[in-house]
Amino acid sequence: MISKPAEVEVYLRLIDFLAGAGWQIVCASPPGGTDNRFRKCLLPRRDLSGSVRGPRDEVDLTAHNGVIILLAECKPRLSDSLTVLNALGESDYLKLKRLASAFTPQGIAELLERGTGVPVPRNPLIALALVVGVVDSAIPPDMTVFEFGHTIRRTWPVEPLADVFP
């Protein structure tokens, strides 16, 4: 059996990896608590015509490189990202897809900047990623997957990350 890192280890490895690659962490909502280094990543569940009150989604980590805003969800195994359901009955994969379709890229940028105070690209590309300790199931063809195991780091990038993390 393959040893899998805990979700918090995957989260911390993602932060180290992105920071080392020159990305700015916009906000982060680590598993099981708060990371005092960053504001929480909260996005409204629907377009509220300028208001951000009401139900919200937490994204594990959001970062940008000046052009691309990355929305990432972390889990110990890829199968968890595809099958473990949240309170709305959706997996991390479906949650990220819903968030990307609920707001324009400019809308996501505006919400992030307003919610965190961190400047982000005004007309960004949006990238979605499942970040896992172990890839133990088929990789979705339409979403980037990062694997941060105990001794390996692999990436299966899709646009717009295909040229960034080949």
Structural domains of the chain, count:
1
User: Is 163 inside a domain boundary?
Assistant: no
User: Is 113 inside a domain boundary?
Assistant: yes
Bigger pLDDT: 136 vs 57? 136
For residue 2, is pLDDT > 60? no
User: Is 91 inside a domain boundary?
Assistant: yes
- Cβ atoms within 10 A of the Cβ of 151, count? 5
Structure letter (DSSP) for residue 45: S
Tokens of 6: 């805990």
User: Is 36 inside a domain boundary?
Assistant: yes
Which residue type, as a one-letter code, is found at position 149? G
Domain extent at residue 111: 7-65+72-156
On whether the pTM is more than 0.85, the answer is yes
User: Is 76 inside a domain boundary?
Assistant: yes
User: Is 164 inside a domain boundary?
Assistant: no
Q: What is the pLDDT of residues 22-80, one digit of tens each?
A: 999 999 988 776 667 888 888 776 544 555 455 678 899 999 999 999 999 999 999 99
At residue 149, the 3 state secondary structure works out as coil
User: Is 162 inside a domain boundary?
Assistant: no
Rounded to the nearest 5 degrees, what angle is found at the Cα of 59, between the Cα atoms of 37 and 9?
60
